Chain A
Amino acid sequence: MRTICFYFQVHQPFRLKPYRFFEIGDDHDYWDDYSNRNIMNKVAKKCYLPMNQLLLELIRKHDGKFKVCFSLSGTVLDQMEAYAPEVLHSFQELVATGHVELLNETYGHSLCALKSETEFQDMVSLHQKKIQYHFNGYKPKVFRNTELIYSDDIGEMVAKMGFEGILSEGAKHVLGWKSPNFVYVNAKEPKLKVLLKNFRLSDDIAFRFGEKAWNEYPLTTDKFIGWLNQVPQEDEVINLFMDYETFGEHQWKETGIFEFMRNLPDSILHQTNFNFSSPSEVIANGSPVGQINVPTPISWADEERDLTAWLGNDLQDEAFDRLFELEKLVKRSNDPDIYRDWRYLQTSDHFYYMCTKFFSDGDIHAYFSPYESPYEAFINYMNVLSDFILRLKLAEKARG
């Protein structure tokens, strides 16, 4: 087997509105409806709709030989329902071709796997229900955790929930001399297969494609094919994992990213000995070469491929710990609004905005943050959280 596995992450967070101290105790509506709607509509126009259309054409043209896989977070699905139903329809149309796999993740694009197994299970099953509801009873077999965060323990939890495989990052410090281009198994639960992102080839498309300072610029289909053909013959699978917003949003249409993708399947099928597989096909057809040991969590972010984009500085840790202290109260409340807000507050993006390590080369973080500084992000989040805690206490009191 020699195959290429495309996986696209589709996600939007529910951004908080500017929430001032004076509003604590009074205003329980935290979400910036206006900007969430605007951003969803903008990304739909620039990315989701045109790229879905392109993929649909490619899948039809190659009659099943070209396939891709998506993970759609619960929050992005909620936003599509509310702001852009036509986007949801176009994803449904793609899945209906039978050549698009969907992954399971946490509903709220949450970091809960690092903190609470019960919440993790709840979030996964909520997401599963959401997928089943929107995609004609579809039941995902493969899991991807938020930000591709993975460790031996997380893998074990995921295996316990019955998944066959999980996606993660081919982090150098974990792989060492090993290649990401094989199927591995979890160190604690060998039933669970682990697919690792080939970060060089993935990031060539996702991050470097339109970068004029890159010495390989411009990236043409021929050049990419050339690189694929240089991959050692014994390597079995190239996992190209990236944000779906790469197409048209991170890499603008003007960079030629759509033309690149339009030509890529044909060229790969005719000029290389690779074909295309979905993650579950890779898992079913590939034979694992060994286990992968990941005692401390890895992710797909930044140079370090660790958790420091979301957790680790005092702002992030304070916010994260305070939020998860509330699990019992939230679950006792039995209030759907409280539940929903708690899930939305877990979204990793909120913690990403509080990251301070990028003061020097902050372009990527700054691009994604609605705040001027991590400190502002913290203040706003904590004000909201303070109100949320008051609501929980009131609900607790009301129940006596």
Chain B
Amino acid sequence: MKVLMFGWEFPPHISGGLGTACYGLVKGMEHHKQDLIFVVPKLWGDEDPLAEFVNASEIEIDYRERRFRDIWKSLTYLEVSSFLVPYLSPEEYHNHTERLLKDEDEIESSVLANKFSFSGKYGKDLILEVSRYALVAAQIAKDKKFDLIHAHDWLSFPAGIAAKKISGKPMIAHVHATEFDRSGQTVNQRVYDIEKAGMEAADKIIAVSQLTKNTIVTKYGIPEDKVTVVHNAVLDASIIKSNVVKKVPEKIVTFLGRITFQKGPEYFVEAAAKVLQKDDNVRFVMAGSGDLLNRMIQRVAELRIGTKFHFTGFLKGDDVDKMFALSDVYVMPSVSEPFGISPLEAVRHNTPVIISKQSGVAEVLQNAVKVDFWDIDAMADAIFALLHYNGISKMFKEMGREELKRLKWEHVAEKVIGIYKQTFNQ
């Protein structure tokens, strides 16, 4: 059985968590010798050769194929004048939409050109790239031999749908995050529509957590038995020994992630203030950047905890490891987190973790304190306990390590292959 898989990015060139998850899964597949064609919009040439890679930017589309025109027509709901583009200033946005309105024909012709060079990023032409990706998928589906389609998240759902249309093969939609996790209550209708179309067109859906499955069922109206939960894993469960030396005498409690609504940074700040009332011997660190950063700084000043609550800005590479290594407690108070890999990274650094019940990772990590994201009293309590009662933190460290070893991508791949077989036989 051969699987045609559509992703959006692949390490080392990634900007989201999706690339890491795809890498883990493909690696696990390799372990089980699963035959795989992996398509990405853009290949850089330095990817780990774990599968038969296809670079969508190099695929030429054959327009004598009438069915492609039909696919393009059916993609017109992906109208390029969408509001999807993230992180644009008002002026940029204006220019962007202006250009789109003016040059719609031109864009259509560029999408329909023989070849199209993808950026593979989450840039301003995202929707355009998503629809071109679907056309390329149709071409690949026509040329390649395979038995099953597997598409990751909404970016590649139109590709999966197109491939299914051309080949008639079954399709699996893999949901790593939904629009509700990304945007809270103000969902982008177009993205939602694409997600829903993908879920409906799929023969089977894989959700990264029960939490995500619930969203798929309740918000997208998908029958429960169509969705199977397969949790993510960690690429490397080894314990990271660090020689970073802490230079402050206090214990350190860390939040690390995007400082946005979904990650619940304000609950961390409030809990910090509560802990500091009782215990002066602790410092809090908020590492990361995001649209709520200034509001958090403002709140820290209001609470008068500025000499014990620090901001590092966006951290990368070594500094992330350093931050984990310096931390005595790691807190992930996410309001909505389909999975959430960072607490597992903390465990690798021997750092006990507190996670919100509203995160998918809470379903797999037993040796962690779990609190509701809004329950700042419970959060403060847990922080205090992990800082002061060595028994629990010691236990969490030891048992967390053991737990981590069981979270392997080869196990994930095994489950996914099981789903392939089941789908294929239906």
A residues within 8 Å of B by Cβ?
20-26, 313-315, 317-319, 321-322, 373, 375, 378-379, 382-383, 385-386, 389-390
Please state if A24 and B310 are interface contacts (CB–CB under 8 Å): yes
What does the 1/0 interface line of B395-407 toward A look like (CB < 8 Å)? Answer: 0000000000000
Q: Hey, which chain A residues are within 8 Å of B423, CB to CB?
A: none
Shortest Cβ distance from residue B292 to the other chain A in the assembled complex, whole angstroms? 12
Shortest Cβ distance from residue B145 to the other chain A in the assembled complex, whole angstroms? 54
Chain A to chain B contacts (Cβ below 8 Å), 20 pairs? A20-B312, A22-B247, A22-B326, A24-B247, A25-B247, A313-B301, A314-B301, A315-B297, A315-B301, A318-B301, A318-B302, A319-B301, A319-B306, A375-B293, A375-B298, A378-B301, A379-B311, A382-B307, A383-B310, A386-B248
Q: Does B308 contact A (CB under 8 A)?
A: yes
The distance in angstroms between the C-alpha atoms of A24 and B308, with both chains bound, is 11
Please state if B294 and A375 are interface contacts (CB–CB under 8 Å): yes
Q: Does B124 contact A (CB under 8 A)?
A: no
Shortest Cβ distance from residue A360 to the other chain B in the assembled complex, whole angstroms? 16
Please state if B298 and A315 are interface contacts (CB–CB under 8 Å): yes
List CB contacts (< 8 Å) of B360-388 with chain A. none
Q: Which 7 A-B pairs have CB atoms at the shortest separation, nearest pair first?
A: A25-B247, A314-B301, A25-B248, A26-B247, A318-B301, A21-B310, A382-B306
Q: Does B165 contact A (CB under 8 A)?
A: no
Q: Could you say which of B285, B306, B310, B319 contacts A318, with CB atoms under 8 Å apart?
A: B306
What does the 1/0 interface line of B298-322 toward A look like (CB < 8 Å)? Answer: 1011101011101111000001001
Q: Binding site of A, secondary structure by majority: helix, strand, loop or mixed?
A: helix
What does the 1/0 interface line of B78-118 toward A look like (CB < 8 Å)? Answer: 00000000000000000000000000000000000000000
Q: Does B249 contact A (CB under 8 A)?
A: yes
Shortest Cβ distance from residue B387 to the other chain A in the assembled complex, whole angstroms? 18
Known pairs A21-B310, A24-B310, A382-B307; A317 contacts B301 (CB<8 A):
yes
List CB contacts (< 8 Å) of B22-39 with chain A. none
Q: Which of A21, A321, A383 has the largest count of B CB atoms less than 10 A from its CB? A: A21
Known pairs A21-B285, A314-B301, A375-B294; A389 contacts B247 (CB<8 A):
no
Shortest Cβ distance from residue A333 to the other chain B in the assembled complex, whole angstroms? 17
Please state if B294 and A318 are interface contacts (CB–CB under 8 Å): no
Q: Hey, which chain B residues are within 8 Å of A317, CB to CB?
A: 301
Please state if A322 and B247 are interface contacts (CB–CB under 8 Å): no
- Nearest residue (CB) in A for B294 is A375
The distance in angstroms between the C-alpha atoms of A378 and B297, with both chains bound, is 8
The distance in angstroms between the C-alpha atoms of A313 and B306, with both chains bound, is 14
Q: Which of A313, A375, A390 has the largest count of B CB atoms less than 10 A from its CB? A: A375
Shortest Cβ distance from residue A178 to the other chain B in the assembled complex, whole angstroms? 38
Q: Hey, which chain B residues are within 8 Å of A373, CB to CB?
A: 294
